[in-house]
Amino acid sequence: MTRRNQSLDLLRGVAILLVVLVHCQEESTGVVPGLSWFARNYGGLGVQLFFIISGYTMMLTFGDRLDLVAARSFYIRRFFRIAPLFWVAIVFYLLATRGRGITNFAPDGVGVSEVLLTFFFLHSCSVTAYNSVVPGGWSIAVEMQFYLLFPLLIYLFRRRNGATLCYASIALVSVIGQLAVEPYLIPRLAASLPASQTYLAEGVFTSWLPRQVICFGFGILLYDYIELKNRPTFAALVLLGAALIVTPQGADVALLAAFAFGLLISNVSLSWMTVLGRHSYAIYLVHFAVVSLIAGLVPVGLVPLFVLVSAVSLAFSYYLIEPRIERPFNRLGHALASAGSAPKAVVTTA
């Protein structure tokens, strides 16, 4: 059994703090020189860091076998890790918005179709659903899309000379996706929307897996380097080249992967950041509401708002969400996976 890398939760802690920071910056009063600039330009990369971590941990936790039983175990564990809390978030935000949803992303409000698409993790295919029912929910859709693809990727990766094919496939999908999105798909969709809603065209294609899969590819590459002790230099160059083509932030994503590599190779931990990392999923889903609540009650500057939101969101997760929702469903998922004679994962915590 491979010992779990302590830096995984540290990286999750960094990722969730970046995400919280960018949303606090949007709601805070005043400007903090340097910090506000950093939040605007780089805070959003927290989501991409989560995707890199996912690529790494999925390789680490899938198990040794490659068959239908292994895939079944994988999907059961992932489903019970993600779905129950996300469904609770759907109900919570519908109640909090009185059924209208997040109007920035659904100007006319959400209806049954948007809710159902979100419930089944298909909301990334709708311009009015991708981020309107659960704020930040677009990233959960990307994760689910990657989960559907992952058994095929790991099958390719573990074949003789298959790792190169795996990386090349990820790079090719990224490049083809970008070449289709920027000149064709976004302009066509924007032209079909009212002038005041054209910004939604770029947003919905942000939640399209081909535009984010390069992040998961970097995560797989880090696993290859760190856990398997390989040196796939050609693969690194292929992914780097694709990243620079895929998005204007490609260089930032590559630097983010390098940062993750530095922490993972050192296998370091920091207790309070580790706690944040372990609760990062719940914090991610709840912090939008906490930001809105605190900023709506009293004008708050960026630093105190950031500290308050981080602390309150962590408290919600630590005392309520994790023990009452996440832990029981995670245990249920692992029990159901084991009951089906599934192979044990390399580690049990993802």
φ, ψ of residue 29 in degrees (nearest 5) = -95, 145
Q: Note the pLDDT tens digit of each residue in 97-125.
A: 999 999 999 999 999 999 999 999 999 99
Q: Which of 133-147, 198-212, 316-330 has the lowest mean pLDDT?
A: 198-212
Which structural domain, as residue segments, surrounds residue 321?
A: 7-339
The per-residue pLDDT of the chain, averaged, comes to 92
Helices (H) and strands (E) in the chain, counts: 16, 0
Which position has the token pair 């564990």?
Answer: 77
Predicted confidence band of residue 248 (pLDDT cuts 50, 70, 90): low
| Tens digit of each residue's pLDDT (9 = 90 or more) over 226-242 | 999 999 999 999 999 99
Could you tell me which of 241, 186, 310, 263 has the C-alpha nearest to residue 11?
A: 263
Q: Is the pLDDT of residue 323 over 90?
A: yes
Say yes or no to pLDDT of 312 above 90: yes
> Quick one: pLDDT at residue 293?
96
Is residue 242 a part of any domain in this protein? yes
**Average pLDDT rounded to a whole number, residues 126-155:** 96
Residue 148 lies in a domain: yes
pLDDT of residue 347: 46
Per-residue pLDDT, 269: 86
The per-residue pLDDT for 341 is 52
- Name, of 146-155, 186-195, 308-317, the range with top average pLDDT: 308-317
Strands (E), the chain: none
Any domain includes 327: yes
For 182, the token pair is: 């920027």
**Across residues 252-278, what is the average pLDDT?**
94
Tally of CB atoms within 10 A around 48: 23
Looking at residue 348, what is its pLDDT?
A: 43
pTM > 0.85: yes
Instruction: Confirm whether 101 is domain-assigned.
Output: yes
pLDDT score, position 66: 85
Total of domains in the chain: 1
Q: Measured in whole angstroms, how far is the alpha carbon of residue 133 from the centre of its chain?
A: 17
For residues 250-255, average pLDDT: 92
pLDDT beyond 60 at 329: yes
Residue 171 CA to residue 266 CA, distance in Å, equals: 27
Residue 247's pLDDT is: 63
Cβ atoms of 306 and 36 within 8 Å: the answer is no
Mean pLDDT of the 254-259 span: 96
pLDDT of residue 339: 84
pLDDT of residue 221: 97
8 A C-beta contact, residue 305 and residue 27: yes
pLDDT value for 345: 47
Q: How confident is the model at residue 349 (pLDDT cuts 50, 70, 90)?
A: very low
Query: Do the domain assignments include residue 1?
Result: no
What is the model's pLDDT at position 5?
Answer: 85
Taking the C-alpha atoms of 241, 243, 249 and 255 in order, what is their torsion angle to the nearest 10 degrees?
A: -80
Q: Could you report the per-residue pLDDT of 21-80, keeping only the tens digit for each?
A: 999 999 999 889 999 999 999 999 999 999 999 999 999 988 888 888 889 999 999 999
181 lies in a domain? yes
pLDDT, position 344: 47
Residue 221 and residue 156 in contact, taking contact as beta carbons nearer than 8 Å = no
301 - beta bridge partners? Answer: 29
The percentage of residues in the chain with a pLDDT greater than 90, rounded to a whole number, is 84
Q: What is the C-alpha to C-alpha distance for residues 98 and 57, in angstroms, rounded to an integer?
A: 37
In a domain, 347, yes or no: no
Look at residue 2 and tell me if it is in a domain.
Answer: no
